[in-house]
């Protein structure tokens, strides 16, 4: 996904790990020019410790 949060107008996202764990994040404070694809590699799962979650608009 190449569009930014600002373009989507979303206020929250769901972050899915490959292990099945997911968390809801409030993105109000994120810069509007951040892309989902830029953020995905930076998430670390609290359950399995894995990186590279999938981020979807809430
Ligand atoms: Zn996980």
R_g over Cα of the chain: 11
Encoded tokens for 4 = 């930014």
Return the structure tokens found at 29. Answer: 């404070």
Name the DSSP class of 30: S
pLDDT for the residue numbered 37: 83
Q: How many angstroms is it from 14 CA to the middle of ligand 1?
A: 13
Per-residue pLDDT of the chain (58 residues; tens, 9 = 90+): 567 877 778 888 899 999 999 999 888 888 878 888 888 888 899 999 999 899 888 8
Tokens standing for residue 54: 């999938």
Distance 2 CA to ligand 1 centre (A): 24
pLDDT of residue 1: 56
Structure token pair of residue 46: 């609290």
Q: Are 21 and 45 in contact (CB under 8 A)?
A: yes
Distance 10 CA to ligand 1 centre (A): 24
């Amino acid at each position: 996904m190449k569009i930014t949060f600002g373009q989507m107008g979303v206020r929250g996202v769901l972050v899915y790990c490959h292990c099945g764990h997911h968390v809801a994040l409030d993105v109000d404070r994120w810069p509007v020019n951040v892309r989902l694809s830029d953020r995905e590699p930076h998430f670390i799962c609290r359950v399995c410790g894995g990186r590279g979650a999938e981020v979807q608009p809430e």
